[in-house]
Amino acid sequence: MSQVPPSYVSGHRLLAGRTAVVTAAAGAGIGGATARRLLEEGADIVLSDAHARRLRESEQELAAEFGAGRVAALPCDVTDDVQVAALFDLASQRHGRLDIVVNNAGLGGTADLVDMTDAQWGTVLDVTLNGTFRCTRAALRRMRTARSGGVIVNNASVIGWRAQRGQAHYAAAKAGVMALTRCAALEAAEYGVRVNAVSPSLAMHPHLARVTTPELLAELTSREAFGRPAEPWEVANVIVFLASGYSSYMTGEVLSVSSQHA
């Protein structure tokens, strides 16, 4: 039986005075929900997305609600290291510091391995895994120089642990994000930076509904103990936890945000 989603949780100023960068933050998915939650918790934010129009609309909406001085945005293709560098430079220029990075950019698709082209494989890996690498590297270089600590939260997926037909490229990329998270955490600890990841199962939003068949969504939903997908803000809440002082002794961890049956 499907359960009703819980009431939205209000902010508690957990991140007041912090500056955060969020990739793939335009629209109604996990990135957009995370940007809103960060603002509600007191952080100033820099949004990025490969879709310039959607990014502009998200920036305008959030700036109108939370104040233009707290929201900046820059289109960024995470497969382009020059654009990645410009994004993190903007955060420093606009807000004078970089405290939190949420690497949310990812790209999926469905194809059986025997039919998958090199281009399909390479594109998913370049956005989802290599993009996370590029952004993590850019963030760590700046955080290491600043010596003021910081937090990086990567968006992985339960598919990095659990097999699903047609998802070899996406599963490999997300498993790679998990491994990258653990290795980066060990390297970053010496200069006070924590690196963790969330691993959602199914978070429903309009874009997912457009690119996934109703049959697959029904199958995935049936695996959830609550009988429903997560709301994107429910995943964002866990990202906020990892970005906050409440997780101060956690690094190199991958937290499953899922109600999937074992």
Tens of pLDDT, residue by residue over 138-164, are 999 999 999 999 999 999 999 999 988
Neighbours of 207 (CB within 10 A): 13
- On whether the CB atoms of residues 2 and 228 are closer than 8 A, the answer is yes
| 260 residue type, one letter | Q
Instruction: Name the catalytic one among 170, 191, 246, 249.
Output: 170
Average of per-residue pLDDT across 83-90: 97
Report the range of poorest mean pLDDT among 37-46, 56-65, 160-169. 160-169
**For residues 183, 161, 105 and 10, what is the CA-based torsion angle, rounded to 10 degrees?**
-100
> Which run of H or E residues covers position 22?
strand 19-22
Q: What is the mean pLDDT of the chain?
A: 93
* pLDDT > 70 in the chain, percent: 95
User: Is residue 205 very low, low, confident or very high in pLDDT (cuts 50, 70, 90)?
Assistant: low
The two structure tokens encoding residue 13: 């100023």
Nearest to residue 234, comparing CAs of 13, 34, 17?
A: 34
Nearest to residue 188, comparing CAs of 238, 243, 147?
A: 147
Q: What is the DSSP string of 184-225?
A: HHHHHGGGTEEEEEEEES-B--HHHHHHS-HHHHHHHHHTBT
Average of per-residue pLDDT across 92-99: 92
Q: Is 248 exposed, middle or buried (0-12, 13-18, 19+ CB in 10 A)?
A: exposed
Catalytic site includes residue 170: yes
Q: Can you name the residues that pair with 71 across neighbouring β-strands? A: 45
pTM for the predicted model, two decimal places: 0.93
